[in-house]
Structure 1
Amino acid sequence: MARYGYARVSTTEQNLDAQTAALEAAGCDLIRTETKSGASREGREELALLLDFLRTGDELVVTRVDRLARSIRDLQEVVHQVRTKGATLRATEQPIDTSTAAGKAFLDMLGVFAEFELNIRKERQLEGIAKAKERGVYKGRPAKIDVDRVKALRDQGMGATAIAREMGIGRASVYRVLDEA
């Protein structure tokens, strides 16, 4: 039986040290880490590698369920994959051990709360952006296209494709600038 640890942070500003220390203390034979944001498992190569590598009797260890999945669907898919392999899932900071009925039930509850938390955070962010826009504080991303240069290149006789190539921008962006002019 092997014990594999998985640690994840969402941004490069976050630190994996606390998670890896907890996984080492839990006796993990191997710890895989990654920095990946988002609510789905998409693009989490290290997690996919661990899930593929699990064998009967192995244990996948995380510090908290929200490091593993942020949606109940993804969490259930991970748990299904772990169970199908004959392995178990355990969290060091939460009473989760899928080898017990209580652990399975608690896991599902935590998955629901993790998804709820993610949805609440998104709602608050959208509300904050809307209020900032009303106050004129939030204006979106600043334009990165030199409109005057696009017009000057067109006046020199260049076509949209040549302008896009010259400036390193998309042809649709060139057309958008020229249509607004």
Structure 2
Amino acid sequence: MLIGYARTSTLEQEAGLDAQLRDLAALGCEKVFKEQVSSVAPRCQLDAALEFARQGDTLVVTKLDRLARSVVHVGKIIEALEAKGVALRIVNLGVDTATPTGRLMLNVLGGVAQFEREMMLERQREGIAKAKAEGAYKGRKPTVRLRADEIRGLSAQGLSMGEIAEQMGIGKGSVHRVLSGAKGEGTISS
């Protein structure tokens, strides 16, 4: 059985998800799992697809980056699939792990994809550093500091730090910093 998996990172990428679903249907996938979550978020539908797959099945994805976030992640997915006797097909790369050549190509391509991601993150960090140096990047507004009086008022009513944190939707550490008058008070809101 061909089992399809489609993913986009955000709800704004609806066209991308539709294209993946269309391609998977055209390939003859009998069951398709889809979701719209970032690559680092828990992926319930991917887990469901891996659980659903049985010996002799093939999991089909249109692109490698729709499936895994890193070489290690690809390796874990392949390991789980191999343990069940399930192959992996990546359409745009022409890779099918049912063959030794397909497995080799997947490992090489996974390494390249991870390298590309790391380079993108490095460029992003450099851009943020440059913006900070130019005064154009201010970071997140310190929201807890703006609510310090409210925190102190709740404390004066006898609420514990945990109760204050829960009621205000912030971390206990932030409450503690405000109440203790610690330096950097309110710069972190959880």
Distance (Å, rounded) in 2 between the aligned partners of 1:24 and 1:97: 18
Alpha-carbon deviation of 1:163?
5.1
Q: Is the 8 A contact 2:151 2:164 kept in 1?
A: no
Secondary structure in structure 1 of the residue aligned to 2:92: coil
CA 1:66–1:153: 2 relative to 1, 3 Å: same
Q: Is the 8 A contact 1:61 1:91 kept in 2?
A: yes
Matched residue count:
177
Alpha-carbon deviation of 1:151?
7.1
Alpha-carbon deviation of 1:68?
0.9
- 1:64 aligned partner: 63
> Whose helix fraction is larger, Structure 1's or Structure 2's?
2
CA 1:144–1:89: 2 relative to 1, 3 Å: same
Distance (Å, rounded) in 2 between the aligned partners of 1:121 and 1:144: 30
- 2:4 aligned partner: 5
- 2:149 aligned partner: 149
Alpha-carbon deviation of 1:32?
0.4
Q: Is the 8 A contact 2:4 2:59 kept in 1?
A: yes
- 2:102 aligned partner: 103
- Please list every run of 5 or more consecutive structure 1 residues that lacks an aligned counterpart in the other structure: none
Deviations 1:85-135 (A, max 9, x none): 112111121110111222111111111111111111111111111111111
| 1:1-181 equivalent positions in 2, closer than 5 A | 2-15=1-14, 16-39=17-40, 43-145=42-144, 146-147=146-147, 149-150=149-150, 153=153, 157-158=156-157, 161=161, 164=165, 167-178=168-179, 179=181, 180=183
Q: TM-score, normalised by structure 2?
A: 0.82
Distance (Å, rounded) in 1 between the aligned partners of 2:165 and 2:89: 52
CA 1:80–1:134: 2 relative to 1, 3 Å: same
Alpha-carbon deviation of 1:62?
0.2
Note the aligned Cα RMSD (angstroms). 2.3
